Amino acid sequence: MGPFTCIVLLSFLCGTIVTKERKILQFGQCELSGISFRELRDYFGEIKETVQTQDNRTDVILLKESVLLGIPVSESCCLLRHLLRFYIESVFKATSNLLRRKTSPLANTFVRIKTTLRQCLDSNIAAIKAVGEMDILFAWMRDINN
């Protein structure tokens, strides 16, 4: 049921950006145009009911609004890119064949947005950063069990 929980959270993703009803969206240093939230809401509306009735893990929340709002604007571009990548590479793949046609509009729009957010850190810099910060990961793994 994991993927369904994720798709439910799409409502949040659409919901927060909706307030910026402008022609050009700004995520840190990334600019985004040609995105219609009306369209995204319609596409999500198509699958919302089916997906939410299948979601019985109400105790798990993947995207917390307060956490997303706490992200600095300068990092919003990369965050969005990584979230979209997660949806594209993991979430949509796990949806059933029956929903494939209905999730296609969202999946393709996500691909389109992701490719537009190019100004995010290039993968080399990100890899160096990730390796350099591995000690934080180890500390967390150790501490969470204590």
Partner 1 sequence: MATRFGTFLLGSLVPLLVSGALLPAPQNITILSTNMKHFLVWSPLTVPGEAVKYSIEFQGEYERDYANDSWIPIGECTDISATQCDITEDISATVPYNLRVRAAQGTEVSRWATLNGLFNRVTTSLIPPMLTVMADGYHLLVELEHLGPAFEFLVLYWRKGQENQVYEKVVRDSNTTVHLETMEAGAEYCVKAQTYVEAINRSSNFSQVQCVKAADSKTFSVIFAPIFFIAFVVAVFILFLLAWKTCQVCQYSCCPNEGLPDTLKLTESPAGIINYRGEEAEKCDMSVHVQPPDELLRFWIHDAL
Q: Which residue ranges make up the site for partner 1 (CB under 8 A)?
A: 23, 33-36, 38-39, 43, 88-89, 92-93, 100-101, 104-105, 107-112
Q: How far is the CB of 78 from partner 1 (least distance, A)?
A: 20
Q: Which is nearer to partner 1, 79 or 99 (CB)?
A: 99
Q: Which is nearer to partner 1, 63 or 111 (CB)?
A: 111
Q: Which is nearer to partner 1, 24 or 125 (CB)?
A: 24
Q: Which is nearer to partner 1, 23 or 142 (CB)?
A: 23
- Buried b or exposed e, range 123-144, using 16+ CB within 10 angstroms: eeeeeeeeeeeeeeeeeeeeee
Q: How far apart are CA 59 and CA 39, in angstroms?
A: 30
Q: How far is the CB of 110 from partner 1 (least distance, A)?
A: 7
Q: How far is the CB of 63 from partner 1 (least distance, A)?
A: 21
Q: How far is the CB of 69 from partner 1 (least distance, A)?
A: 25
